[in-house]
Amino acid sequence: MPRLVLYPGSLLDIETDVIVNAANSSLMGGGGVDGVIHYAAGPALKEACRPLAPCPPGEVRVTEGFGLAPRLIFHTVGPIWHGGQNGEADILANCYRNCLTELSNRGLRRIVFPAISTGAYGYPPAQAAHIAVTICARHPMARDADIVFAVIDPQNRAAIAAALNAVR
């Protein structure tokens, strides 16, 4: 089983191979985690993202870290919550699955996730946390991975903590 950890702070504070950006499909930066990562990495990140867009929900695009501690940034687009009857759970699960597959395919072990889709996209934190933790705990390509959930928001942090306790 992978090592799953909750970190109550910014994903930019953690030494890791990869950070995951909860991006929008344009990959041009936005609010929340996406805006923080784009601001910290500078304009070169936006230029690197331009030819990779659009990124459909559930898929992953990869850029270098542009001076940030992680070597790579995995950009994934989570679903917008529309009540849960429009495939949102499958799309969110694919965000995590595809990031973990990409991590393994690149021979890397350490990845930091934000709480994908729980901000402006409105996904309920408890449901999102259950999906995130379950996928990360059971993904066959993540057996030896160090997976950190970096979450500043108290509601999302509590949801991730509860989901982690449920899989242990």
Active-site residue set: 34
Backbone angles phi, psi at 31, to 5 degrees: -95, 180
Total residue count of the chain as it appears in this document: 168
